[in-house]
Amino acid sequence: MITLSNIVKRFGEATILNDISLSFPEGSVTALVGPSGGGKSTLLRSINLLELPNSGAVQIGDTRVEFSPGRKVPFSEVQKIRCQTGMVFQNFQLFPHRTAIENVMEGLITVQKWSRDKARARAAELLDKVGMAHKEDAWPANLSGGQQQRVAIARALAPSPKVLLCDEPTSALDPELAGEVVDVLGQLASEGTTMVMATHDLRLASKIANQVVFLEAGQVVETGSADEIFRTPQRDRTRRFVSSISAAQTV
């Protein structure tokens, strides 16, 4: 279980997240949707503390970290949260001087202190899982965007995190390549992987999300199942947003 309690995040005078409280059950897939600048990515990055909240609390499993104005959170507390998460970035963020399999191995060797043989076996297993075993020795520059993102997913899964966080995982891809990534994430969802993703891709959200959270101006406007949010939203603002995105993605 992941729990966010009364999360507030400010950048200067701007309040980006305003008193957000949400829970994400183990094995669930949650999609964070909403207009650009609504706080989706900031909320996602607050879960693994790439962004440190100004106040509130983040809890993953039994590990809880509390924030308050003027309190400096020890790095050891931050690391306890981060080591339970895997992150998939919008623009892949692969090491260009490492092959696909070396990208997946790197964190296991450098951070987890695994042996090279053990790390390579784990990396090969995960590349096979995401349909990239045949490209394990390829350089990122020689891979398509969809292939790079699948390698990035394998890398995020390597240390067996409790939750996989995905920040707009398909937005840098054309529709055909995005479909490859949707299929991989759908497979992980069917296997019970806990995921939270920020996305504008309604195909991705509607296909694999159990829960959808609509955010605007740093506040939760509406939550519900994918079917409830995308087919029968209760709030006018949610209906307008879903209609605009649906129209844009069918053009």
Find residue 58's DSSP bridge partners: 4, 65
Burial 153-167 (b: 16+ CB within 10 A, else e): bbbbbbbebbbbbbb
CA atoms of 120 and 101, how far apart (whole Å): 7
Q: At what angle do helices 116-129 and 145-157 cross, to 10 degrees?
A: 130
pLDDT at 246: 62
**Alpha-carbon span 21 to 193, nearest angstrom:** 22
- What is the SS3 assignment for 221? strand
As a whole number of angstroms, the distance between CA 88 and CA 150 comes to: 9
* pTM of structure: 0.88
For position 141, what pLDDT does the model report? 95
DSSP 3-state of 92: coil
The answer on pLDDT for 248 being more than 70 is no
**CA nearest 148: which of 172, 168, 175?**
172
Over the stretch 63-80, which tens digit does the pLDDT of each residue have?
999 999 888 999 999 999
For residue 251, pLDDT beyond 50: no
State what percent of residues in the chain have pLDDT above 90.
65
Question: Which structure tokens are listed for 51?
Answer: 């962004």
State the average pLDDT over residues 45-71: 93
Predicted confidence (pLDDT) at residue 59 exceeds the cutoff of 90: yes
Strand ranges inside the chain, DSSP E: 2-11, 14-24, 29-33, 55-60, 63-67, 85-88, 163-167, 195-198, 211-216, 219-224
Least confident span in 39-48, 157-166, 198-207, 209-218 = 198-207
Query: DSSP letters of 25-85?
Result: -TT-EEEEE-STTSSHHHHHHHHTTSS--SEEEEEETTEEEEE-TT----HHHHHHHHTTE
Percent of the chain whose pLDDT exceeds 70: 97
**Contact between 200 and 212 (Cβ < 8 Å):** no
Provide the CATH topology of domain 2-84+161-250.
Rossmann fold (3.40.50)
Across the range 149-153, mean pLDDT stands at 93
Distance CA 116, CA 225 (A): 43
Q: What would the pLDDT profile of 205-240 be if each residue is shown by its tens digit?
A: 888 899 999 999 999 999 999 889 888 888 999 888
Integer CA distances (angstroms), 19 to 10, 43, 63, 219, 220, in order? 11, 11, 20, 7, 9
The pLDDT value recorded for residue 171 is: 82
Query: For the chain, how long is the longest CA-to-CA vector?
Result: 55
List C-alpha distances in Å: 25 to 29, 47, 192, 193, 245.
9, 14, 11, 11, 27
pLDDT in tens, 135-146: 999 999 999 988
Q: Which residues contact 215 (CB under 8 A, 6 or more apart)?
A: 32, 33, 34, 38, 39, 40, 43, 221
Residue ranges per domain, the chain? 2-84+161-250, 93-160
pLDDT at residue 29 is higher than 70: yes
Residue 249: its pLDDT value, please? 59
Mean pLDDT of 188-197: 90
